[in-house]
Structure 1
Amino acid sequence: MSATLPPPSAEPRTTADPTTTADPTTTDAPEFVDVATRPETRGIEVVRPSERHGRARDLFAVWAAPNVSVLNFTIGATMILLGLELWQALAVIVVGSLPWILTGIVAISGPAAGTSGSVVSRAMYGIVGNKVVIALTGWLLSAVFLALNWLASSFLGAELLAGAGLTDPVLVPVLVTVVVSAITVLVAVYGHALILRTYPAVTIALVVVFLAATAFFLPHVDWGYRAPAPLEGVALWSAVTVGFTILAATPLSYINSPDMARYLPRSTKPSHIVAATALGGALPSILFTGVGALLATGLDAAAMDAGIESGMLGLFPAWFVPIFVIAVIVNTVALNGMTTYTSSMALQSIGIPLKRIPAAIVVGVIGTALTIYLVMSTSLLGAVNLMLQVLVVVIAPAMAIYVTDIAMRRNRYDGVELLDQERGGPFWYRGGWNVAGITAAVVGGLASSLFLTTDAWAGPIAEAMGYLDLSVPVGVVVAAGLYLGLSRSRVNRPALDVPAPDRGPRA
C-alpha cells in the first residue's frame, strides 16, 4: 500500500476485537440479501460489491420522511418567540438549513467504505479514540434525539386520548411512548431495506397531511405581524444567531448519514448522494419550519404558554385531529426508526458485544426511559430548544472534522482496513488515538461553548458580546482548522492516501 501511515506501534499486534459481529475479512460467509420482509442481520460488516444496490435518489425520501415533523412547527414558532419579525424568522430558517449540505457530504463516505459512519470515523480518531467519540456522538446523543421526538408524539397522543376520557397527565403520555417506541424498534430491527421501500410512501402521506394542517393554520396567520418590541442592533443579532444555532443543530446531528448510503454501488456519483441527502432533509424542514413561524403569529400568549403542540390542535376541525396525531406518530417512527437503526451500529463500533438487532433493542429501551423522564419533568418547547442548543457544542466540531477528513482523503476509504482493530494497524495511530482528531474535537467543543447562548447558561465570550451565539461557526472553523493543521504536521500524520479499490473482503 502506498499510503502515508502513522509510525507503527511498538506494541505487539493482537487479534481483532471479538465484539465485531462478523469477520469482515472472510469470503466464505454467505452473501447477505437486503430485503424488506425480514430483519436485517448485517451490522458494521463491509457491504461487498455484489451486495450493493439502489440509486442516489432513493436517499431523498429516506431523509424527507423523518423531517416532515411536528418539531419543525415548534422550532419555527421559536423564531417568533425570540422576538424576530416574520420576514426575519423566515430568512433565518433558510440560512439555518444550509448545514444540510454537510450532512450530504458526509454521506458519500458510506458507499466509499461500505460500512457504517461510526466505523469510518476510526480514520479521524483512531481505534480507541473513536470508541469514546462514538459513545457520545453516535449513541448518547442519538438517545437524546430519540427522546425529543418521542416526547412530541407522547404529548400529542395524550391530547388525543384525553378526548376519550383518558386524562392522566403522566400515565397516558408514558403509555403512548412505550407503544410508539416498540413500533420504532421494530422498524430498526427490519432495517435498511424496509426503510428504503416504505419511506417514499410515508413521505407522500406525511406531506399531504402536513399541507392540510397548513391550510387550517393559514386563516389564523397574522400576515401583518409586528414584533411587540422590534429588535435592533446587538439584541437583533443575538436573536438571529440563537435561532440559527437551534436550526443548524438538526442537520449537524446527522453524522449517521453514511449508514443509509452504504449499500449504494461505489460507482454512484458523490454529487448525486449529496444532493439527494441534503435536499431530502432541507426542503421539508424549510417548508414546515416556516409554517411554524407563521402559526406563531396567530396564537395568543396563553396558547403559546400551554405549548404549541396543544395550541395547534385547537385550530383543526375535530375530524382532522386524529389524522394529524397519527401522522405525527408515523413521522416519529420514521425518524426514530432510522436513528435507532444507526445507533445500533454505533454500539457495535464502540465494542459492545452485541449483534445489531439486540443493540437496536438496547438503544430503544434507553431512549424510552429518557423520554419518560422528560414527560414527567418538562415541556416540549423548552426541551427542544435547550437540548438542540447545547448539543451543537459536540456535534458541530464532529461534523467539521468528518467533512475535513473526507476532503483530505478525497473520500478514499477502505472498509476492510477500517475494521482492522489490531495494534499497529492502519488506524491504530499512537496507542489507538489520533491526536489530531481528538484534539480538534475537544478544543473545537470548548471554543464552541465559549460562544454559546442558552436560557440556562451563556459562554463568557457570548455574554461579553451581548449574547451573540456564534457556537456553530466557531466550533466548525476551530475544529476543521485544527484537524487539518495537526494532520499535516509531524505531531500526528494520518493515512490520507488510503486506496479504495472496488473489491470484496480479502481472503
Structure 2
Amino acid sequence: MTTQLESSGAQHDARVDDGTHPETRGIDLVSDAERHGRARDLVLVWAAPGVSILNLTIGVTLVLLGLEPWQAVGLVLLASLLWILPGIVAASGPAAGTSGSVITRAMYGIAGNRLFVTVVGWLIGAVFLSLSWLASSFMGADVLRRVGLDDPVWTPIGVTLVVSAVTVVVAIFGHGLILRIYPVLAAVLLAIFLAVGVSIMPAVDWAYANPEPLEGVALLSAASIGFTILASTPLSFINSPDIARYLPRSTSPVRIALATAVGGAAPTVVFTVVGVLLGTALTPDALAGGIDAAIFDLLPSWLAPVLVLGVVVNTIALNAMTTYTSSMALQAIGLRLQRIPAAIIVGVVGTALTIALVLTSNLLAAVNLMLQFLVVVSAPAMAIFAADVLLRRARYDGAQLFDDRPGGRFWYHRGWSVPGMTALGVGGIASAVCLATDVWVGPVALALGVVDLSVPVGMLVAGALYALLLRSPIAKDGRP
C-alpha cells in the first residue's frame, strides 16, 4: 500500500492546486488540510464542457430520425434526468479523497478494477476525446477551406494537433486551473452559442412536420434510438469524483450531486434543443456537405469563425477534463507513471484515434455510431457505481482503497469482486442484445421491431444484480 501511494505522485506543497503550476498529484489521497472549495463551484466547471457542438449535432439527429420537434424536445428533457447519476457518483470523491478510478476498487476488487479501468474507463475516455477533437477538426478545417487552405487531409490533422496540444497543457496544470478558468470558459461559450442560436432562428421552420409522421413501432424505434444517443453523454461521466475530490470531507453529498447534475444538464438541454430547431432548417441537400458546413451557411460571415473558436474552446474544456482523469486511470491500473507523463500519453493516444477518424469518417456518422455503442459499457458501469454510492451512503475509506495486499478489505476473491464483475458482464450483455445501430441490431431489439432498450435494460440489470449480489454471502469482504 505504501509503495503505491508514494509512486502515484510527487511531494506536494501549497502550490499543488493553485492553478498556476502543473499539478503533480495523481491518485494519491488529498489530505483534509488540502481540501477547499464549495459544492456550487462544480456548476460552472461542468457547464463549460456542456456548451458543445456535439449537442447541436445530436439535436439535428433527433429530427433526422423522423421525430417531430416537440417529441425530440420531450426526449431531451427525459434524458437530462440521467445527469443525477454523475452527481451521485461525484459524492464519492470527497468521501474517499482520491480518483474515481481508485474508488471503483470497492466495486470490482483490486485486480478486477485494473481490467475495468483499462477496458471501460479508457474506452469511454478515448471515445469522447476523439469525438470532441473530431468536431473541432472538421469545423476548423471548414473555416480554413473558405480562406484557401483546403487540403482535405492535412488541414483537419493540423487543427487536431494544435487543439490536442493545448488540451494536454490544461490537463497538465490540472484541477486548480480547471477550477479557475472553466467558469470563464462557460461564460464565453454561452455567449457564442447563444449568438449562433439567435442567428439560426430565422431559418427555423416553426411549422415543421414530418411528411410521413411516425407511428407505433416506428415511432418507438426512433425515440428509443434517440434516447440512447442522448443518454450516452451523462452516462459516460463516471470520472465525476475526480473533479469533486478536493472538496472538504464535510461537503453535503446532496449538494455535490445537485451541483454536478445542474451544471451538466442545463447547457446540454438548451443547446440540444437548439440543435432540434436547427434540424428543421436543414434539408438533405444542405447536409450533403456535412453538418459543419450546413451550420456555417446559416450564419453571418463574421460569426462562423467565432463559432469555430467556441468549438475549439469547448473541445479543450471537455477533453482537458477527460485527459486529466484518464491520466489518473493509467496510475490506477498499476503503471508506475507520474500524472504529467500519463496525461501526455493519453493525449497522444487520443490524437492518433482522432486522426484515424478524420481520414475515415464524417462528423454526424461518427458521433451517432460511437455514442450508441458507448452505452454497452457506460450504462452498466454507471448503474453499478451509483448503486454502490447509495448502498454505502457515500462512505469510503481512502486508505483501505489503497490496501492492495491479500486480505485487504477490497481484495475480495483473489483480487476480484464477484458481484461487481458479474453485474458488469451481465449488464453489458443485456445492453448489447437490446442495442440497435446501423451496424448492429441485437436480437431483443430486432424482435421488438428495432426498438433500442439498451440503456434502461443494461442499467436495471447491472444495478439490481449488483445490489442483490453485494448483500449475499458471495460478496465476502468489503460489503457496505
**Shorter-chain TM-score tier:** over 0.9
Which residue identity lines up with residue 459 of structure 2 in the other structure? V
Task: Give the structure 1 partner of residue 171 of structure 2.
Answer: 188
Unaligned runs of 5+ in 1: 1-13, 498-507
Which residue identity lines up with residue 268 of structure 1 in the other structure? T
Shift of 1:31: 6.0
- The answer as to whether partners of 1:487 and 1:494 remain within 8 angstroms in 2 is no
Task: Give the structure 2 partner of residue 502 of structure 1.
Answer: none
Which residue identity lines up with residue 383 of structure 1 in the other structure? A
Task: Give the structure 1 partner of residue 322 of structure 2.
Answer: 339
Alpha-carbon distance change, 370 to 69 in structure 1, aligned in 2, over 3 angstroms: same
Task: Give the structure 1 partner of residue 302 of structure 2.
Answer: 319
Q: CA separation in 2, counterparts of 1:162 and 1:257?
A: 37
Identity %: 59
Matched, 1:233 2:220: no
Q: CA separation in 1, counterparts of 2:244 and 2:479?
A: 22
Q: CA separation in 1, counterparts of 2:5 and 2:30?
A: 19
Task: Give the structure 2 partner of residue 387 of structure 1.
Answer: 370
Which residue identity lines up with residue 352 of structure 2 in the other structure? A
Task: Give the structure 2 partner of residue 503 of structure 1.
Answer: none
Task: Give the structure 2 partner of residue 432 of structure 1.
Answer: 415
Q: CA separation in 1, counterparts of 2:229 and 2:90?
A: 22
Task: Give the structure 2 partner of residue 375 of structure 1.
Answer: 358
CA-to-partner distance for each residue in 1:285-324, whole Å, 9 max, x for gaps? 0000000010010111111232211100111111111111
Task: Give the structure 2 partner of residue 174 of structure 1.
Answer: 157
Which residue identity lines up with residue 261 of structure 2 in the other structure? A
Matched, 1:217 2:200: yes
Alpha-carbon distance change, 30 to 222 in structure 1, aligned in 2, over 3 angstroms: closer
CA-to-partner distance for each residue in 1:392-440, whole Å, 9 max, x for gaps? 0101000000011111111110111101111221111011000000000
Shift of 1:355: 0.6
- The answer as to whether partners of 1:16 and 1:421 remain within 8 angstroms in 2 is no
Task: Give the structure 1 partner of residue 79 of structure 2.
Answer: 96
Task: Give the structure 1 partner of residue 98 of structure 2.
Answer: 115
Q: CA separation in 2, counterparts of 1:19 and 1:35?
A: 22
Task: Give the structure 2 partner of residue 364 of structure 1.
Answer: 347
Shift of 1:495: 2.0
Matched, 1:21 2:4: no
Which residue identity lines up with residue 22 of structure 2 in the other structure? P
Alpha-carbon distance change, 337 to 256 in structure 1, aligned in 2, over 3 angstroms: same
Q: CA separation in 1, counterparts of 2:443 and 2:292?
A: 34
3-state DSSP class of the match of 1:430?
A: coil
- The answer as to whether partners of 1:178 and 1:368 remain within 8 angstroms in 2 is yes
Shift of 1:137: 2.1
Q: CA separation in 2, counterparts of 1:100 and 1:16?
A: 37
Task: Give the structure 1 partner of residue 287 of structure 2.
Answer: 304
CA-to-partner distance for each residue in 1:255-288, whole Å, 9 max, x for gaps? 0000000000011111111111001010100000
Alignment of 1:446-465 (within 5 A): 446-465=429-448
Q: CA separation in 2, counterparts of 1:128 and 1:66?
A: 32
3-state DSSP class of the match of 2:285?
A: helix
Shift of 1:141: 2.1
Residue 18 of structure 2, aligned match among 35, 58, 65: 35
Matched, 1:146 2:129: yes
CA-to-partner distance for each residue in 1:335-379, whole Å, 9 max, x for gaps? 000000000001100011111000000000000000000000011
3-state DSSP class of the match of 2:415?
A: coil
Q: CA separation in 2, counterparts of 1:77 and 1:30?
A: 48
- The answer as to whether partners of 2:15 and 2:21 remain within 8 angstroms in 1 is no
- The answer as to whether partners of 1:15 and 1:422 remain within 8 angstroms in 2 is no
Alpha-carbon distance change, 79 to 45 in structure 1, aligned in 2, over 3 angstroms: same
Say which structure is richer in helix.
Answer: 2
Shift of 1:15: 7.3
User: Over the residues paired in the alignment, what is the CA RMSD in angstroms?
Assistant: 1.4
Matched, 1:256 2:243: no
Task: Give the structure 2 partner of residue 476 of structure 1.
Answer: 459
Which residue identity lines up with residue 463 of structure 1 in the other structure? L
3-state DSSP class of the match of 1:411?
A: coil
Which residue identity lines up with residue 46 of structure 1 in the other structure? L
- The answer as to whether partners of 1:113 and 1:262 remain within 8 angstroms in 2 is yes
Task: Give the structure 1 partner of residue 336 of structure 2.
Answer: 353
Residue 490 of structure 1, aligned match among 469, 473, 480: 473
Residue 163 of structure 1, aligned match among 133, 146, 160: 146
Q: CA separation in 2, counterparts of 1:136 and 1:371?
A: 18
CA-to-partner distance for each residue in 1:43-82, whole Å, 9 max, x for gaps? 0010000000001111011110001000100000000010
Task: Give the structure 2 partner of residue 134 of structure 1.
Answer: 117
Matched, 1:62 2:19: no
Shift of 1:17: 4.6
Alpha-carbon distance change, 407 to 258 in structure 1, aligned in 2, over 3 angstroms: same
Q: CA separation in 2, counterparts of 1:97 and 1:58?
A: 20
Q: CA separation in 1, counterparts of 2:5 and 2:90?
A: 28
Q: CA separation in 2, counterparts of 1:175 and 1:269?
A: 45
CA-to-partner distance for each residue in 1:431-457, whole Å, 9 max, x for gaps? 100000000000000011111010111
Unaligned runs of 5+ in 2: none
Q: CA separation in 2, counterparts of 1:491 and 1:447?
A: 22
Q: CA separation in 2, counterparts of 1:118 and 1:20?
A: 16
Q: CA separation in 2, counterparts of 1:328 and 1:390?
A: 24
CA-to-partner distance for each residue in 1:185-221, whole Å, 9 max, x for gaps? 0000000000000011110110011000001110000
Alpha-carbon distance change, 223 to 494 in structure 1, aligned in 2, over 3 angstroms: farther
Q: CA separation in 2, counterparts of 1:236 and 1:29?
A: 56
Task: Give the structure 2 partner of residue 46 of structure 1.
Answer: 29
Q: CA separation in 1, counterparts of 2:293 and 2:403?
A: 51
3-state DSSP class of the match of 1:35?
A: coil
3-state DSSP class of the match of 1:291?
A: helix
- The answer as to whether partners of 2:144 and 2:150 remain within 8 angstroms in 1 is yes
CA-to-partner distance for each residue in 1:80-121, whole Å, 9 max, x for gaps? 010001100110111111110001000000000000000000
Task: Give the structure 2 partner of residue 9 of structure 1.
Answer: none
| Alignment TM-score, normalising by the size of structure 2 | 0.98
Residue 72 of structure 1, aligned match among 55, 67, 78: 55
Which residue identity lines up with residue 481 of structure 1 in the other structure? A
Alpha-carbon distance change, 386 to 479 in structure 1, aligned in 2, over 3 angstroms: same
Which residue identity lines up with residue 131 of structure 1 in the other structure? R
- The answer as to whether partners of 2:16 and 2:24 remain within 8 angstroms in 1 is no
3-state DSSP class of the match of 2:165?
A: helix
Which residue identity lines up with residue 391 of structure 1 in the other structure? L
Shift of 1:146: 0.2
Shift of 1:148: 0.3
